[in-house]
Amino acid sequence: MDPNVQVALVSAGGMIAVALVGVVVEFLRRQSSTLGEVREQVSNTHSTNLRDDVDRVLRGLDQVLEGQAEHGREIAGLRAEIRHERAERLAVAERLDDHMASAAP
């Protein structure tokens, strides 16, 4: 093979190798930046573990939901009592109207 061709091939190979190394370095730099952003979002700046914090919040949410269900049952009970009182009041009003109608001259 002609020495000029050999030099051209070695030079071209070197340029391709440098370009590939540059691409890989840029890729690794971007990955490092992305991992830093992820770490910033996940890392705690205090002494407790993020998973423990999330578990505590979920337990608290369960307690809130249980309390809300209890309030719903209490409200349903109050509504039933109001319906009963209304029915009794209407029955008394009807009896009073009937009595007044029969007593009227």
* The pLDDT of residue 64: 93
Q: Is residue 95 part of a domain?
A: yes
- Looking at residue 104, what DSSP letter applies? -
Q: Is residue 47 part of a domain?
A: no
* The pLDDT of residue 40: 65
**pLDDT by 10s per residue, the chain, length 105:** 788 888 888 889 888 998 889 888 888 888 887 787 776 666 666 677 778 888 999 999 999 999 999 999 999 999 999 999 999 999 999 999 888 888 877
CA angle 43/46/52 to nearest 5° reads 75
* The pLDDT of residue 68: 93
Task: Please tell me the total count of domains within the chain.
Answer: 2
Which domain does 3 fall in, by range? Answer: 1-36
Structural contact between residues 44 and 50, judged by C-beta atoms closer than 8 angstroms: yes
* The pLDDT of residue 69: 94
Tokens of 49: 């573990």
Q: Is residue 48 part of a domain?
A: no
CA angle 89/94/98 to nearest 5° reads 150
30 and 68 within one domain: no
* The pLDDT of residue 60: 93
* The pLDDT of residue 43: 62
Separation between Cα atoms, residue 5 and residue 47, nearest integer Å:
65
For 1-58, give the DSSP string. Answer: --HHHHHHHHHHHHHHHHHHHHHHHHHHHHHHHHHHHHHHHH--SSSS-HHHHHHHHH
